[in-house]
Structure formats: structure tokens, C-alpha cells
Amino acid sequence: MNSSLVTSPLTYRKLLILFSQILLIGLAYFCAFLLHLNFHLEEPAWKLFLDTLPFIAAIKLIFFYRFGLLRGWWRYTGMSDLLDLTQAALASSFIIYCLTRLFFSSVRHSRSLIIIDFALTILITGGARFAVRAYTETVGTVAAGKRTLIVGATQAGRALAQELRQNPELSYQPVGFIDDDPRKKGIKINGIRVLGTTGALPHLISVYEVARVIIAIESTEGKQVEHVIDACRECNVDFKILPPISERMNGTQISKLRNVRVEDLLGREPVRLETEAIRRKLSGKSVLITGAGGSIGSELARQVASFEPARLVLFERSENDLFNIWTSLSARYPHLELVPVVGDILDVGILRETFAAQRPECVFHAAAYKHVPLMERSCFQAVINNIFGTYNVAVVAKQYDVEDFVLISSDKAVNPTNVMGVTKRVAELIMLGLQRQGTKYMAVRFGNVLASNGSVVPIFERQIAAGGPVTVTHPEMKRYFMTIPEAVQLVLQAGTMGHGGEIFVLDMGEPVKILDLAKNLIRLSGLETERDIKIVFTGLRPGEKLFEELVLDGEHMGTTRHNKIRVLQSGEVKYEDVAAWLHDLSSLANSKNVNGVISKLKEIVPEYTPSMEMRILSELDHLDIALINRSRQVDLWMGTQGVA
């Protein structure tokens, strides 16, 4: 295609803007003359106007160009454009005043003329711009799409409404705002009226024949979101949500609209990070993440990558998971040096090779076995991976002068009732025991994360998709929840605060009933509990408890500079004790001594209460060992008696 044909519309638009500016500047100057001379424009003044007009217009056009007023779309005019226009008019008027004193001194009261011209330039040229915007927001953008209510006359809601009106092809026709602030009722925002509160939503949907509702309120208002959803379902209208700003940093508002998810109902405040502090910690550094293919590890990798480290080492045992996060980050950050390493934290050799070659300065240790029921069945693997694997990575980190080591811990480490939790608590104690000089060891303790591998949300979603039933262990079970990105953001923030030997605890908000979580997921799927999907109670699984805690008795919770992070002052742990624990656990695990392992874990972590199943297994194992020892004694006695 001929390039001149492609660029000609743009050229015509520039010429049109230039021509319109000349006309408006000339009109403002002419009106200034009329006002200055009390509408008596006689021959000498008329001749002076014609003689000075080119000079005045040229100077103003130069400053209009300098302030970017000869380009852009008037339909998007805003307060920043008005500020630019004022600056351009003021600067040009000052230059005109100085020059007229030199070359047109015969003009009487030229100072008042220039002041009037300055005011009219802003009024006429600015008025023309805002008139075009007003036209496009009223007559020019009337859409024939679905009539839409926007819940939340917030900044995000206003921006969304403006985008919808300026893009009629999106098939959204905003007819009004809904907002629970009574002061906003009746006012117009971008030409759209605030019609009422969420309490009147069913009535307003009916009166205004609304077919779609968009929720644009803050994530802290989870109950309000739930109320809006109930009203929409009652009135059989479609509903979408504008997610928090952290999810819509790039792209348009409308492109980020999505279905409501369960995390939108939690009512959690958005996390505010000290991004500069995190950037100083990570930028230009070599960072290593263990378990980089898991739920937490992969999100850690994504967020760390955004802070421009010199090198990001992805250490992961699962080849497929490692490949997925590696290729994803390679596409998103083509200039970042990514080092994928297929390795196991139990393999000290590969750990040393990796640390020697990549020289990480910061380590985030996310690799662990986390599934409670499985670890109750596989206690040796939990001990070996979560305790000895953590020790391996931590010691190698010290050997290679790592600056910061952050352990991802769990609320299940507090008063543990399962093997997974007690191994996480031992891992925390190892961090405290290793903290002497050099590497700064710290742990970050938090609860369940939504949508992580094996969490209840994906399980419930699969059960709902299959038509039910949804299985809940106990009607009173509660858990702390946060989203994966939120948890990782706070982990990175905590990493900037540690001096070594701290256990940081994340503010998890209020605990959520698992039963309520299941009901909300069923409702968000457009179904009804019991009518469409049954809920079945299956009883607590081995190692589970009804409530999780975040702080042990005797741990003193202190504040930090971040309102969502607390720090625990734990007692001192001697390295000699850690070495003795590991020696004993190694012997017991290698000999497959369940009773011995459980007894040793309880000795290390006195608050550990083994589950009934684990106690039974331990007793059976103890009985088996006693029988074996008794049998060996009999064999020895018979041998001394000469019996074959």
C-alpha cells in the first residue's frame, strides 16, 4: 500500500488542528480588542489589530507547540491539558508584552489588552477542547450495548465509565453508578449519575432495565461484593469485577474485567510494598529460589524477576514445572539471565556446584513437602526432605557467603499436630541455630494460600465441575487464607527487614470457615447449595486440627515498619543442639524407626501433639521393634545352648 495514503489522514488531522488553533487565537485576540476599546473598533485600532495579528498568532503557536497543544485528541482533554494551556498562554503573553513595549509602544493600555487576551485565549481555546470532549461523552458516544451499572464511584469506576463511553463497540452502555457513600447520591461523574446505594440495587436494576453489573469497589469490601452478587443473581443479570490495581498494572480497564473469584470475597486490604527497599535488596544481585516450580516458588520467581536481579537461579526437582516457569520468565524478561537447575535439595553435590557457579547473594527456600495427610503416611520422607533438605541448603548457603537466607515456613509449625507441621518447626529452629556470623537467616510464617497446588479451592472447583458432592471435613473448620501474590509480596518485604534470627509472621486477616468458602464457590459457579450441589462432611483427616495458630506460647510478637508483618522474638538455639538432633534423626530415619522419629520430634518440639493415627503407628512400630529385639535375644540364648 502507498505510504502516502496511509499517512494522509494523520497529516490532514494535524493541519486541521493547526488551522483551528489559528482561528481560535485570532478570535481571542479580536475579542480582547473589542473589550479593551469598549466595542468601538475604529480605523486606527482595526489597522493595528490586522498588523499585529500575525505577530501575536506566531508567538502563541510557538508556545502551543512547545507545550504539546498542537497534537493529541481533544476528546481526551483533561486538567493536565488545561494546565499546559495556561502555561503556554502565560508565557506567550509575557513575551508579547515585552515585544509590544519595544515595537508597538503607540498602543494605549497595552498591558490591559494583553491581560484580557491572556484570559480569552484560555477561555476560548480551552472551551473549544472541553466542548469537543463534552460532545463525545454525550451525543458522540451513545452506545447500543447492554445497559450497565457500575458499582463503585471510585477513581477506578470513573476511569472505567469513561472508557466504556468512549468505546461504544465494547457493547457496554453505562447508565449509572452505585455507591454506598450517601454524599455521592445524585451527583454526576463524567456525565453519569450516581443512582443510589447497593441496598437499592435490585430496584435500580429493574427500573433502568439493567442487563449487566460491573463491580469496581475496593477489595477490602468483601461483604459488599457478596451482597452485590446476591442481588445480581436474584435479578438474573450478568456481573463482572474490576480486580485490584495489582492485577491491572498493564492494559486497559475493560481488558481486565473478569468473573468474580473467591478471593474477592475475603475482604482483604491491598498490600502496600516498600518497592524501593525491595529493589535495593534484589536489583543487580544473584538470587536463587529452591522449589522454583511450585506455587509459592514460581510466584517468587515472577516477582523477583520484576526487580531486575543480575541473575535468577531456578532450582527445582520437577523437570516439567521448572520448564514451565523458565519458559514463561524467558518470554517476559528476555534480558534477564535465567539459570534453570534440575536438582534435589537432598543432593549436596548439585547444591555446591550450583552455589559455586552462580554465587547467589539471596536465597529463598520454598522447596518442601506440604500436604498434611500424605506426610502423615510418609513421615520419613517429610523428615528427610523438610529437615535435612533445609539444613543442606542453609549450610551450603553459609559456605558460599550468601547474604540473606529466607525460609518459607507455615502456620502449621505452631503447636503442630502433624508431621508436616513439626518438620517445618524444626526447620525454623535450624535457622535459629545456624544464625551466628555471616549469612542472615530468617523465616516467614503464613497460612494457606488460595489456588496453590493441593489447596481446597482447586479441589472444590473440580468437585463442583463434576456435579458434586463438595467434601468438607468439618462444619467448624477454619483456616487463614491469602492469595499467592499477596503472600509472596510480603515475603519479599520481610526479606528487607531481617538482621538475622527472626521469624516473621504475616497478617492473615480473619480466619475463614471452610464451609463458607465452599458455599461461596458454589454460588460463584451460578449454582445453589443443596439444590444443585450437595455438601458432605467427611471428618478430620489425620494430622488436621480445626483451627490454625500463628504464634507459639512464649513467643513475643513485635511490630515492624510494615503493618502486615510482625516479628517473633524466639529463644536462642545452640548449634550443638541442632547437630545432635540431626544425628539422632538421621539414624532413626535410616532405620525406619517410626516410634523413634516421633519421640525425637516430640523431644525437639515439646508442643508437638502427634495425631491419633501417628500414635497408633508409632506404638505398633515400637511393638515390632520390641518383638524383633526379643527374638534376637532368644536366638542368642539358643545359640549359646548349641541349638541349630
Neighbours of 433 (CB within 10 A): 22
CB 355 within 8 A of CB 400: yes
The partner residues of 212 in beta bridges, in order of sequence, read 148, 238
Q: How far apart are CA 368 and CA 360, in angstroms?
A: 20
CB 248 within 8 A of CB 242: yes
CA-based torsion, 414, 420, 424, 427: positive or negative: positive
Q: Under DSSP, is residue 342 helix (H, G, I), strand (E, B) or coil?
A: strand
Q: How far apart are CA 278 and CA 498, in angstroms?
A: 12
CB 63 within 8 A of CB 91: yes
CB 369 within 8 A of CB 575: no
Q: How far apart are CA 625 and CA 490, in angstroms?
A: 47
Helix and strand tally (H, E) in the chain? Answer: 21, 21
Q: How far apart are CA 31 and CA 34, in angstroms?
A: 5
What dihedral do alpha carbons 415, 419, 425, 429 form, nearest 10°? Answer: 130
CB 168 within 8 A of CB 142: yes
Pairing of strands 470-472, 478-479: unpaired
**At what angle are helices 575-590 and 594-604 packed, to 10 degrees?**
160
Query: Letter for the amino acid at 342?
Result: V
- 412 noted as active-site residue: yes
Catalytic residue among 412, 545, 564, 600: 412
* Residues with a known catalytic role: 412
